[in-house]
Amino acid sequence: MIPSQTIHIPGFRPGLTLWQIRICPVDIVTLLLTVLFILGPITVRADHSQTKNPKASTTKANTAMTPAVTLEAVTVVSRKIDDYIHKNPNQVVSMDAKEMAQRNFLEAYDVLSSMPGVDVRRGSSGMGARISIRGGGGSGSVLVLVDGRPMNTGQFSGVDLGSIPMDIIKKITVFKPPAPVWLGPGSSAGAIYIETKQGKAAKTATSSGRLRTGAGSFGRFDLNGSWKTSWEKSNLLLAAGYGHRDGKRENSQRDKGHFSFNWDKETQSLVNVQVNGKYYLSNHGISGPTYNPTPHAHQRYEKGGLDMKIKGFMGDTLDYELKAFGDFTDLEDTSNTGEKANLDSFSTGGGGEIFWNNEAGDKELRMGTLIKTEQVDQTLTGEHDRTQVSLHAMHTMKFNPFILTMGARGDYSNDFDFSPAGNLGLSYEIMPDLLMKTSLGYTTNLPSFGQLYQPSHGSIDQVRGNPDLKEEKITSWTLGIQKNFKKKSYMELVAFRTDSRDLIKYQRGADLISRPENVDKAWKQGVEVTFKYKLGKGLSLDLNHVWQDTENEDNGKELSYAPDHSFKATLKSKLKRGTRLESSLRAYSCQFTDTDNTEAEAIHGYATVDAKVIEPIHICKRSGEVYLHLMNLLDRDYSSHYGYPDDGFRFVCGLNLNF
């Protein structure tokens, strides 16, 4: 028998052992083997990285002698955008489509889960997920926007990102709290901005496509395809897909399908018009938690939407954007006893934004508005409606080496009246590669329709709403320092604190159904450390650790689903022949799942390892790649939600082909 070892780390409970967090010497050996699996084929690269290519040097010299025209302008604009994100007081991380493709992410959930300080807990049915930033717990819900419009929340304030195909995603940006006011209401715990792809103007008609197939454990099968074409100044992107899984637990089967189109056109006056449409359908069983299984529960979830956006500029200093949208949701919910309930919702809205900067580029002003109307009809709770109006303004001033941002927003709804929000941020460039950032924010979150009445992603056997909820009032601040190295490597240390009043948390009742309730006062505070470094050519290491302390002041207990420690490590490698390898470790300390911190319902600490192999290939002169993803490589027995055990070791393999 391998003896347990005691770990003495501030913030862990006394006596916590390696067995209690599910990490033992056997796991460490397995992890080292995983690391060797990545590093083994790699030869020493230090000498290669220092060797200069004579041809490349000649090319650079010739390029330097060539007059720079259009490319220089594009490069300068790109650098300005990156520089703004880098120096802005808000804590921001992002990933573009190029990196997503290189790392072969299959869903938007996987992209977010890989980002520093972001955790994703998937729902048991595959519908919706709980997303938390910096450990979650005491800061409300995370706002998710697609092209500037908010997505509806579901069970436990989760969102369904599975309805967004990877083929249409251009970039995902995470704003850690306090988020800037222009993102809109509901961002007290941070915001996730998903930007969809837009084509590039082409002188001649061009077209291309991509086919993605995959199969894996528990009857998993996926087939997705996309096709894009450009002509003159118009672009069209079509994407469709189908997925099936049998699932490991009884009644966890699922079938899903999606279709979307993105069209955009640039007029002669350089005004860009975009129209996007999406449709998603899922039929799935609801297995329920182990303490309340529902082997006969079922849901049919249907969702569609249409968006339009117009972007342009007036003069050299003013940009504008106008948008309108509408979507519907249709949910047929069958309980374990056969009773049926329907949820129909419809929302429409629109808004606009202007962005002004002076000719010197040291002053910027962003102003905008958003109007949204929601209508809901649910069998159990009846008809409800909400109209929201939001106005915001944000001013940025740059006076080297400082950047100061000030923002304010006012939100009005017909059911909760007026709600204010504001933030203040300052960044200080201590030296060219050393930045200090601090920000302070206040916001009010309105309970969602899902929290008030009935969520769209939760079975009626497991979760219900609470029409007596109050709005959340949340204040947060951060203070951080960032040191940048060469080759996009950096190290960041951030201290944070959030104070909440009337925080909305779910609590299980005697009937085993979870309902949201308000916590009068709560807080969380902690430190986040991020380290990203390129070890050599084709080899990089990402590390992130979040330590936090939380308290529900109503009872002196810890907040639910708020582990003291969250750790994430990712090692990426690219071999000479183009093979890409990736391994990741995630570890979490013990966390409680209820307001009373019941030991019997606690999730003990655990660690899990995933790995990827992506091999480029050519078939009939078509480029592509084959891939193998291994999840929960150590086959750890854990639960991310109480009563919903992980499926254990599983895999998915497939083929991506470009044409």
- For domain 78-658, give the CATH number: 2.40.170.20
CA-CA-CA-CA torsion sign (453, 458, 464, 468) = negative
Neighbours of 240 (CB within 10 A): 17
Over residues 111-121, the pLDDT tens digits come to: 999 999 999 88
pLDDT in tens, 399-425: 989 999 999 999 999 999 899 999 999
Task: Read off the amino acid at residue 36.
Answer: L
- Selection from 216, 223, 260, 267 nearest residue 241 by Cα: 223
Residue ranges per structural domain of the chain: 78-658
Identify which of 546, 619, 626, 623 has the alpha carbon closest to the alpha carbon of residue 580. Answer: 626
Predicted local distance difference test score (pLDDT) of residue 228: 92
Residue 159 carries which DSSP code? B
Mean pLDDT of 92-119: 93
Taking the C-alpha atoms of residue 578 and residue 134, their distance in angstroms, rounded to an integer, is 34
Give Cα 414 to chain centroid, integer Å: 30
Cβ within 8 Å of residue 103, ≥6 positions away: 114, 572, 580, 582, 612, 614
- Mean pLDDT computed over every residue of the chain: 83
The three-class DSSP label of residue 67 is: coil
| Per-residue pLDDT reduced to its tens digit, 298-345 | 999 999 999 999 999 888 889 999 999 999 999 899 999 998 989 899
Local confidence band at 203 (pLDDT 50, 70, 90 cut-offs): low
pLDDT at 200: 65
Please tell me which residue, 5 or 162, carries the higher pLDDT value.
Answer: 162
**At residue 367, does pLDDT exceed 60?**
yes
Q: CA 122 to CA 297: how far, in whole Å?
A: 19
Burial class (CB in 10 A: 0-12, 13-18, 19+), 484: middle
How much of the chain exceeds pLDDT 70, in percent?
82
**pLDDT at residue 488, as a whole number:** 80
pLDDT (0 to 100) of residue 56: 42
Distance CA 652, CA 632 (A): 12
- 614, 38 contact by CB (below 8 A): no
The phi, psi pair for 601, rounded to 5°, reads: -105, 10
The answer to whether 242 and 279 are in contact (CB under 8 A) is no
Residue owning tokens 């990712």: 570
> pTM of the full predicted structure?
0.83
pLDDT score for 124 = 53
For residues 380-405, average pLDDT = 93
Q: Which residues are within 8 A (CB) of 600 and not within 5 positions of it... i.e. 6 or more apart?
A: none
Residue 205: exposure state from Cβ atoms within 10 A (0-12, 13-18, ≥19): exposed
Q: At residue 275, what is the residue type? A: V
Query: Would you give the DSSP letter of residue 50?
Result: H
Find all residues with CB under 8 Å of 617, minimum gap 6, and list them: 623, 624, 625, 626
Burial of 14 (0-12, 13-18, 19+ CB in 10 A): exposed
